[in-house]
Amino acid sequence: MAPPEGDSGEPVTPAGRLFLLPEMNNIIHCAIGLKNKIDMDSTRSAIKSSLMLKHPRFCSLLVHDKNGREHWKKTDIDIDQHFIIVNKKNDSRCSCTDADDLDRVVNEYIADLSVSTPLDISKPLWEVHVLLEQNCAILRIHHALGDGISLMSLFLAICRTAGDPEKIPTLVTGRRPDYGKEGKQQDLGRGYFESSADGLKTVISGGDGVELWPRKLATAKFLIEDMKTVKRAVANATINDVLFGVISSGLSRYLDHRSPKALQEGQQITGMAMVNLREKQTLQDLSEMLKNNSGSQSRWGNRFGFILLPTFYHKHNVDPLEHVRRAKEDD
């Protein structure tokens, strides 16, 4: 679809163009579990009148000019086109008897979406999938629209407090963490990706067409008090150290089980952590992010980077705290 001559719309940013590449095509999936049954009429009405549909990224088509460059072009929104209602009540494979079953159904649904269902470019690049039986809504938003900080700030602006339906939840701010000898301050808890050691073929190495293979999504829950207990067991450790220790331990156990002879004890595995590059590391007021200030370090969009972080393979009989100690050494 091309815009009218002379009206090419707003250019897509370089980061947005990166995420739109066929080799990337990154889509953010956000699952929201609700206590009560979902009323679709109320949900549609709330979204239709929310800040979400006033935001230019959520009411713009992805178009190309005559030179093939991507632009955002404002359009009218048909809210029904963005809702996908899933009623799996009569599907025995998706019946839920407890919380674990509920997690399984939602995880399998998202895993299927991630390989089988691209976003339709004939409408703005977002959808809301509603799993009625599971009281769950899944937001699918193309990464070209914004990063996690942008989208969570928007989501927070849509929400209201339980005690006052007119009041927006208060933003919680805190001291920015300090990482590295140069005092570079980054929030490392946003995301983590593992890649296999160079030159080694292991069970986490992909083959031809790996992007089309079936995927498995799993979730794990950790009490913050338990993480604090582990943190106190290692001098000067942080919650992030504990988090990376958990990842290192879990990956080591997985590799030890599936490919026990593939790696040597203590072998480094290179990881990448996504870091927010905005000056403010916490969620921010949406109005501040939407100000038309190209020099602002807090503006809407994709403003993140990657840093390389080493994790280390250890046999299952190693002291679990060793994973946290190694994470601490590499701060």
Q: What is the mean pLDDT of residues 303-325?
A: 81
Per-residue pLDDT at 36 exceeds 90:
no
97 occurs within a structural domain:
yes
Residue 141 sits in the same domain as residue 213: no
Out of 145, 162, 178, a domain closes at: 145
Q: Quick check: is 156 in a domain?
A: no
Is the pLDDT at 329 greater than 90? The verdict is: no
Average pLDDT of the residues in 104-115:
88
Non-local (6+) Cβ contacts of 231 within 8 A are 237, 238, 239, 241, 242, 324
| Contact between 121 and 61 (Cβ < 8 Å) | yes
H or E, element range at 192: strand 192-194
Q: Which residue has the tokens 């106190």?
A: 232
| CATH value at residue 35 | 3.30.559.10
Domain membership flag for residue 308: yes
Q: Do residues 262 and 200 touch, judged by C-beta distance below 8 A?
A: yes
Among 89, 114, 145, the domain boundary falls at 145
Is residue 3 included in any domain, yes or no? no
Select from 80, 110, 145 the last residue of a domain: 145
pTM of the model: 0.74
Q: Do 122 and 235 sit in the same domain of this protein?
A: no
Instruction: Please state the φ and ψ torsions of residue 212, each to the nearest 5 degrees.
Output: -105, 0
Residue 158 within any structural domain of the chain: no
Examine residue 185 and state whether it is found in any structural domain, yes or no.
Answer: no
As a whole number, mean pLDDT of residues 314-325 equals 82
For residue 98, the model assigns a pLDDT of: 65
Is the residue at 257 inside a domain?
A: yes
Q: Is the pLDDT of residue 183 over 60?
A: no
Please indicate, yes or no, whether residues 33 and 104 belong to a single structural domain of this protein. Answer: yes
Domains held by the chain: number = 2
Helix (H, G, I), strand (E, B) or coil at 73: strand
Residue 117 placed within a domain: yes
Distance CA 234, CA 323 (A): 10
* pLDDT > 70? residue 167: yes
pLDDT band at 194 (very low <50, low <70, confident <90, very high): very low
29 pLDDT more than 70: yes
Is residue 118 domain-shared with residue 200, that is, in the same domain?
Answer: no
Q: Which residue has the tokens 């009540």?
A: 89
Of 43-52, 242-251, 261-270, which gets the smallest average pLDDT?
261-270
| Mean model confidence pLDDT for the chain | 78
Based on the fold, state whether residues 324 and 199 are members of the same structural domain: yes
Confidence of residue 93 (pLDDT cuts 50, 70, 90): very low
Q: Are residues 131 and 209 in the same domain?
A: no
- My answer on whether 135 and 206 are in the same domain is no
β-bridge partners, 128? 83, 139
Structural domain range at position 264: 192-329
Domain check: are 135 and 20 in the same one? yes
Q: Answer yes or no: do 226 and 134 share one domain.
A: no
Q: Which 3 state secondary structure label does DSSP give 206?
A: coil
